[in-house]
Amino acid sequence: MSKKFLIPIGPYHPLQEEPELFKLYCDGEIVRDIKWETGYNHRGIEKLSESKTYDQVFFLVERICGICSTSHPFAFANAVEEIAAVEITDRTKYIRSIIGELERIHSHLLWVGLAGHFLGYNTVFMWAWKYREPILDLFEMITGNRNSYAMFKVGGVRRDIENRMIEPVTKILDDFKKKNDLLTGAVMDDPVIHARTKGVGVLSRQDIIDYAAVGPTARASGVAIDVRRDDPYAAYPLVNWKVITAEEGDVFAKAEVRLLEMYESISIIEQCLQGLRKEKEGDIQVKVNEIPEGIGTGRAEAPRGEVFHCVFSDGSNSPLRHKIRAPSYSNIATFKKSCIGQTISDATISLAAVDPCYCCTERLAAVYDSGSGRKLYNARELIGLSADRTSELRNKNDLK
Amino acid sequence: MAVYLFYFLVFPGLIFAAVTGAFLSWFDRKITARVQFRKGPPLLQPFYDFFKLLLVKETILPKQGSPFIFLAAPVFALFGATMSAVFILLPLFNIKSGFSGDLLVIFYLLTIPSFSYVAGSLASGNPLASVGGSREMKLIISYEMTFLLVIAGVIMKSSQNFDLYSVISAQQVSSPFIGSISGVLLFIVAVFCIQAKLGLVPFDMAEAETEINSGAFIEYSGVPYALIKLTKYIMFLALPAFLTGLLLNGFNLHGINILWAVLKLTGVVLLLTLIRNTNPRLKIKQAVSFFMIWMNLIAVIAIVLAYFGY
């Protein structure tokens, strides 16, 4: 009988950006069993939420995840609006969908880059992140922030996408589409990437159903679930788009689904921008006086899968109970199926293929020079710097 | 005696090879950075890296495992690399003609660093290092045979000369070996072997950062790791220079030809850099079959072609 030994991935490891621990029980190069521990990042957000007002909770749930920072406010808005029985305006719907889809593009690009890095293909890593930059600039132009956009509120959005913005946004998207063609071609046609990812970490249709996996992980195994289609919200019923699926269920299929979804997202954004032209400018919120007693559930399709928020209201100005389920919670359980029996090399890319997100953020208050101890920037000055850049970006595109 | 010590320690041995190799590795990193839209390190970065490890960083020994082998391995690796650099560079710079059969001595000396890494990683008692060590071992087994076939092909082309000096002078009298079909095939195979010997992507599975956390070198720190860095710099000069001698008619050190020699060396390094920037890491199984089947096949075809004079 051979002796098993333990290969730890984590709590801090170059494979994952966030603290978590995977224990691979290996027999030589072959992974025989896997166990994982999460919870290094617990911040008690559900409890915190009970002590905040509904308007404040948006900023709180936005900070659950730095990458999909719109999907949580999206789901929370859906939940609260269900309690209050608010019907939002069409312009709000379009704006919400535009932000949601831009976020999907930047999140998928981020994953493609990281997957390249995990395969030792750092050129893809750097190129994907370079091409992601215009999308973040777009966010900064529209919302004022590269991340954590603070766009959502009960019954509407905080900022309008004015009609004069539509043209520069379309231009940036067109430029991006060309670069995305290049990147997609480079990834999909590379024989060595095929050799590394095809047939690796396969999840069958039944595995997906057994483990209740969601998002691109499920769609890559031929299970066409997508909250945007199954439980329509925002502007998704108003535009034409299709759910991308693949049949193979391996790492390559997951990459393929994500790369093709970016094209769908671009098409949704373009249609939403056209829709914006028809609506009256500034018609971006419905007045909500109070949240009545009741239970509301909200779902949103985050880049990683379904985000679910359940809000209990007792009629006061803050939630009585707020339950959140993030997509990675169900996706990481599939590692039992995808990693066991693989080699270590295959297991690591299989771990990364579901794009696990352990919900982390960091904040910066002040920067000190380590030599002299002199304070270089305080928070207010940093925000000032950021605002300067935003206005520079807007001026460049002739917006004021 | 003193002159041999000079060869070994100063020129073309330890100091010369390490400094030149450090600049070549800077070139590699800078090109990589430019390919990836990054700025890249300053010219002296390899030296900063080395002296930081040597002078500043603390040396930590693993509690389990064998400290003697763990510490001896980098020293052996450095000696192997320096000796091979001396034997390769002396004929290349036309200082000394070497001896009959030195091609095989160089071949053995070039394997010493890899074997030392395996010994050192297994002595560290770390499970990640043992995975890295076993991968390195499988890699050595697969590419060494191929590398030997390349040398055999070159010997065949230079009408059975077993020393590097005659191989180079045979090319300088007529034309470089790469100017024939078998020469091109041998060059392709040799470039992949060098890529694997240097541990660059796609053959960096022994230290795969995102899989096993730098694998074979995970426990090294401070002075031993500085020696490993130095070994890698020397190998970065020795292997491309060896290839230049084997197939690209070596260096000619008269007047403007020096520039030509530098271009040849940087050209080979550029090729290695581009390969490593346009490929993901292979699995160890794929790397073994790549060398054992395909590269060996190409090398044998090249030898047969060389026999018939193509």
**What's the ipTM?**
0.81
Show which of residues 26-45 on chain B sit within 8 Å of chain A, judged by CB atoms.
32, 35-38
> B11 is in which domain, residue-wise?
2-307
A260, A389: one domain: no
Chain B interface includes A119 (CB < 8 A): yes
A288, A392: one domain: no
* Cα–Cα distance for residue pair B74/B129, rounded to 1 Å: 15
Amino acid letter, residue B124: S
Number of structural domains, chain A? 2
Answering whether pTM is above 0.90, one says: no
A263, A386: one domain: no
pLDDT tens-place string over residues B128-141: 888 888 888 989 98
Decide: A359 and A326 in contact? Cβ < 8 Å. yes
Nearest to B225 by CA among B60, B102, B112: B60
A70, A113: one domain: yes
Chain B positions touching A122 (Cβ under 8 A) are: 32, 36, 201, 277
Chain A interface includes B289 (CB < 8 A): no
Nearest by CB to residue B210, choosing from A117, A123, A343, is A117
A381, A262: one domain: no
Edge-to-edge, what's the strand order for the sheet holding A21-27? Answer: A5-9, A21-27, A30-37
Nearest by CB to residue B277, choosing from A123, A190, A195, is A123
Chain B interface includes A182 (CB < 8 A): no
Mean pLDDT for B37-48 is 90
Tokens of A201: 């970490």
Give whole-number Cα distances, A91 to A86, A156, A199, A234, A379, in Å: 14, 9, 44, 10, 34
A287, A383: one domain: no
Chain A interface includes B280 (CB < 8 A): yes
A143, A252: one domain: yes
Residue A31 within a domain: no
* Cα–Cα distance for residue pair A370/A364, rounded to 1 Å: 16
- How far B271 CA lies from chain A's nearest CA (Å)? 15
A253, A369: one domain: no
Chain B positions touching A130 (Cβ under 8 A) are: 37
Chain B residue at shortest CA distance from A15: B210
pLDDT tens-place string over residues A16-35: 777 778 888 888 788 888 88
Nearest by CB to residue B204, choosing from A26, A120, A348, is A120
A382, A307: one domain: no
Q: Which of A22, A344, A348, A349 to mutate to test the interface with B (most CBs of B within 10 A)?
A: A344
Nearest to A17 by CA among A335, A362, A301, A258: A362
Residue A32 within a domain: no
Taking only the tens of pLDDT, chain A with its 400 residues reads 456 788 888 788 877 777 778 888 888 788 888 888 777 777 778 888 889 998 889 888 888 887 888 888 999 999 988 888 888 888 888 999 999 999 999 999 988 888 888 888 888 888 888 898 889 888 888 888 888 888 888 888 888 888 888 888 888 899 999 988 888 888 888 888 888 888 888 888 888 888 888 888 899 888 888 888 888 888 888 888 888 888 888 889 988 899 999 999 999 999 999 888 888 887 888 888 888 888 989 988 888 888 888 999 888 888 888 888 888 878 888 888 888 888 888 888 888 877 776 654 333 445 666 777 776 777 777 788 888 888 888 888 776 6
3 state SS of A171: helix
Helix intervals (H) in A119-190: 122-143, 166-188
Tokens of A380: 């207010």
Number of structural domains, chain B? 1
Residue A134 within a domain: yes
A314, A344: one domain: yes
Residue A250 within a domain: yes
Give the pLDDT of residue B298: 92
A201, A52: one domain: yes
Chain A positions touching B208 (Cβ under 8 A) are: 120, 345
Q: Can you give chain B as a three-state secondary structure string?
A: CHHHHHHHHCCCCHHHHHHHHHHHHHHHHHHHHHHCCCCCCCCCHHHHHHHHHHHHCCCCCCCCCCHHHHHHHHHHHHHHHHHHHHHHHHHHCCCCCCCCCHHHHHHHHHHHHHHHHHHHHHHCCCHHHHHHHHHHHHHHHHHHHHHHHHHHHHHHHCCCCCCHHHHHHHHHHCCCHHHCHHHHHHHHHHHHHHHHHHCCCCCCCCCCHHHHCCHHHCCCCHHHHHHHHHHHHHHHHHHHHHHHHHHCCCCCCCCCHHHHHHHHHHHHHHHHHHHHHCCCCCCHHHHHHHHHHHHHHHHHHHHHHHHCCC
Give the pLDDT of residue B26: 93
Chain B residue at shortest CA distance from A27: B131
Q: Which of A17, A31, A121 to mutate to test the interface with B (most CBs of B within 10 A)?
A: A121
Dihedrals phi, psi of A149, to nearest 5 degrees: -80, -20
Partners of A285 in beta bridges: A156
Residue A7 within a domain: no
Residue A119 DSSP symbol: T
> A333 is in which domain, residue-wise?
42-363
Residue A59 DSSP symbol: H
Tokens of B185: 């095939």
A94, A129: one domain: yes
3 state SS of A137: helix
Give whole-number Cα distances, B37 to A133, A387, B31, B124, in Å: 12, 26, 10, 37
Q: Cβ B284–A29 below 8 Å, yes or no? A: yes
Residue A86 DSSP symbol: -
Mean pLDDT for B215-221 is 85
3 state SS of A311: strand
Residue B253's pLDDT band, with cuts at 50, 70 and 90, is confident
Give the pLDDT of residue A362: 37
What value does the mean pLDDT of chain B take?
Answer: 87
Give whole-number Cα distances, A179 to A94, B205, B227, B229, B299, in Å: 25, 31, 43, 38, 40
Nearest by CB to residue A120, choosing from B36, B134, B201, is B201
CATH number, domain of A127, equals 1.10.645.10
3 state SS of A276: helix
